[in-house]
Amino acid sequence: MLFCPTCSSMLIVEIYSGHLRYKCRSCPYNFNITRRTTSRIYPKLKVIDDVLGGAAAWDNVDATDERCPSCSHPRAYFMQIQTRSADEPMTTFYKCCNISCGHRWRE
């Protein structure tokens, strides 16, 4: 998108005598297009914080007798987090104690 250097209006592309040119709708400014011009600007993405604390959140948690739905291991780590409003029950998150599985689920 280009803007007029005279009045700062947005320039449009028009065909004039078989050639392309930029034309201002507000003032008599015209600019002949002699070569292809392109540019891309990619926005920087925001860093997303892990809501549950990432891998460090599972460092000092307790284990319980909960069967893993993936590998049927009899024990799982768990933690409870209030994810909804205060008048609703806490959400329990589980992680399989089997190192080779590591499946995560919630209840």
Contact present, 39 and 17 (Cβ < 8 Å): no
- How deeply is 16 buried, as exposed, middle or buried, from its count of CB atoms within 10 A (0-12, 13-18, 19+)? exposed
Query: Is the Cβ–Cβ distance between 85 and 100 less than 8 Å?
Result: no
Residue bearing tokens 């590998």? 71
User: Binding site for Zn(2+), residues?
Assistant: 4, 7, 24, 27, 68, 71, 96, 101
Judged on CB neighbours under 10 Å (0-12, 13-18, 19+), 61 is: middle
Q: Residues comprising the binding site? A: 4, 7, 24, 27, 68, 71, 96, 101
